[in-house]
Amino acid sequence: MATVTGNNAGRSPANVQENKGLYWRLWIASMTVIVVMMTFAPKIWGHTLFDNFGITFNGGPTMILVVLVYLALSLREVSADEVSAAFSYGKALVSLPSGLHFVPFGLMQVRKGPRTVQEFQCPGEPEKVQKTDDAIPLESGMVRPIRVVTGGSKGNKNEILDTRMTLTVSFFVQWAITDILDYASNYGSSVRIEEQVRDIGEAILAEVATAHTPASFIADLPGINKHLTTNVGKRFKNSGVRIISTRLISPDISHEVSTALADIPKARVLAAQMAIKAEGDKTRLVKEGAGKASAELALLKARAEGQKKMRDDLEVDGKDILASEAVRGILAQTDVLVMGGDGMKDAMGLVKAAQSAFNSNKGATP
């Protein structure tokens, strides 16, 4: 786990005050020297300088040239997208608004920073994060991922991610400079800001993760983002920097687990598809059975009506009709073709046998 280092480690950030008195004294002293030099330049016009060194300079033009060069070195521009301040060898003087300023060369220095909102991602841009085992040496220009360990199971058996797991997290940060004097004194560069935000954010997320399972961690991302923004912002209070927003990117739960989770919707769709197909097959079979039963019933009714009409037309006993129908059914199921006298004799034998069978069951329920 990284620790907080630098000016924010173990103490409050420095709250730097402007020293306008010193700024104006240095400014006036420099302008006074310039005015004096420009005043005496015409009076020494034509006088030579440095004759003893074998080189001669005209005093008047030389002095004017020196003044112009000094002015050029002392004029500093602050663009509209910058914040700037004047320092005198580490001593904070004043903040400088956008525009052109006279900052005496050799007496003052200018420190600048971005006025616009800055954004970066922790621990780094995705292509710069080396997601390998920590035992493998870190490649040049790469950074280690941020890993946090969640809490144990909450007893939710229906939740797949209700378990202890190591998550790889990343988040992006938006920040802006609110006071250039404090910013320059506490950090001096955006690199220091990024380093400290990562350290603070990693510590906060490690604490938050212990109260969650992977499932609840993902579900509570809005609340975690709010907590992260609030607490990182507190650590940068009075530092000249305002943390505008911090937002977690959905945590990485390893490639293997992600792949397995991605297959769950597919499995559910296939299961639903099989259930629908089975229900369809069941409905089809029921309807087919009902149709066959209805057709069989209609056939039986038609056959009964035909047998009744045959009995009435032939004026024979009903048992004879049933016997002939039974024989017809038997003959319909055989490949033997009844031919000649013996065949007819056999057929009549079948009829008599059927009649005998019906007679032997006389009195039974039809």
Split at pLDDT 50, 70, 90, the class of 75 is very high
Evaluate if residue 88 carries a pLDDT over 90: yes
Nearest to 343 by CA among 355, 357, 358, 331: 331
Evaluate if residue 338 carries a pLDDT over 80: no
Q: What is 119-253's CATH topology?
A: Tetrahydropterin Synthase; Chain A (3.30.479)
**Higher pLDDT, residue 239 or 157:** 239
Tokens describing residue 151:
């809490």
Q: What is the DSSP string of 22-70?
A: HHHHHHHHHHHHHHHHHHHTGGGTT-EE-GGGT--EEHHHHHHHHHHHH
What is the percent of the chain where pLDDT is above 70?
A: 66
**Higher pLDDT, residue 70 or 190:** 70
- Tell me the whole-structure pTM to 2 decimals: 0.60
Question: What one-letter code names the amino acid at 226?
Answer: K
Evaluate if residue 314 carries a pLDDT over 70: no
Is the bond into 222 cis (omega within 30 degrees of 0)?
no
Range in 128-132, 170-174, 357-361 with the lowest mean pLDDT: 357-361
- Give the mean pLDDT of 75-82: 94
Range in 84-88, 323-327, 339-343, 355-359 with the lowest mean pLDDT: 339-343
Range in 4-8, 44-48, 55-59 with the lowest mean pLDDT: 4-8
Residues of the chain with CATH 3.30.479.30: 119-253
Cα separation, 130 vs 83, in Å, equals 35
**Higher pLDDT, residue 129 or 86:** 86
